[in-house]
Amino acid sequence: MSLKKRLALKIAYNGAAFYGFAPQIDVQTITGRLTEVLLSLGIKASILAAGRTDKGVHATGQIIGFEVPDFWDLAHLKILLNQKLYPHIYIKQIWNVNKGFHPRFDALMREYRYIFTPKLRNIFLSDFISKERVGDVAKLSQALDLFIGEHNFKFFCKTGSDAKNNIRKIFNVRFYSYKIFDEPVFVVNFLGNGFLYSQIRLIMGAVLAYSRGEISLLNIQEQLEIKARNYAIPVSPNGLYLSKVFYAQGSLLGGV
């Protein structure tokens, strides 16, 4: 029986090319593609992840973990994986980690980024920037502040999550303007201890509806307090990115 070592990998992927992260039958998923490529290298692995992104959602800082035979050189493995995973998945870094490391349960915080614009002139960016109807930008920023802190997000998530409860803490929300290839966009960064199934997409749907005058700030507050589900239309997934996952200091050291 060959000795094995556990690895953690930071990966980026174009979610538009996949039907989400989790494995599914008869459709291409990120886990499915990773498993396929690893098997081509003789590595049979069970892949764990910091978060299971939905169909169309991207990542720039997803963390995954699996075991490989001990003889693998990390730098060589990274080169081979990137050659085979191109063009939709990219391995940014690989670390040796202890046997008990779990990308999901050991994560302290996660950061998601939502990128959107009311007018998208460059159609070649449509897979990566969500085109949304935007009203009063000041009202949008005002509504986002309501979500900072610990809340029960029962009315801001879709059914189907395997979460044991709906309580999550959002530490910070940052809203700003940016340009991508000369395309003016808005960006919202959410930093929290965890996020439920479609939570960010439903939050963004509600705050954008408020910015357009379709619902009131009280409607959002009532929904956050689980008094009434006043708005339940999520924004498009293509503007959403899992951008960073945070772990205890020293968990990920000396990677290649």
Grouping H, G, I as helix, E, B as strand and the rest as coil, residue 95 is: strand
Identify the active-site residue in 26, 54, 70, 182: 54
CA–CA dist 53, 15 (Å, integer) = 8
Coil/strand/helix, residue 179: strand
What's the rounded Cα separation, in Å, for the pair 66 and 199? 27
Residue 175, classed as helix, strand or coil, is strand
Nearest of 184, 190, 218 to residue 203 by alpha carbon: 190
CA angle 186, 199, 86 (to 5 degrees): 70
In angstroms and rounded to an integer, the radius of gyration of the C-alpha atoms of the chain is: 19
Q: HSE on the CB side for 206, CA within 13 Å?
A: 28
Chain centroid offset of residue 141 CA: 21
Residue 26 is among the residues annotated as catalytic for this protein: no
Instruction: Give the CA dihedral 12, 18, 22, 27, nearest 10 degrees.
Output: -150
Helix orientation angle between 74-85 and 30-40, rounded to the nearest 10 degrees: 120
Q: Each residue of 233-247: b (16+ CB within 10 Å) or e? A: ebbbbbbbbbbbbbb
| Residues acting as catalytic residues | 54
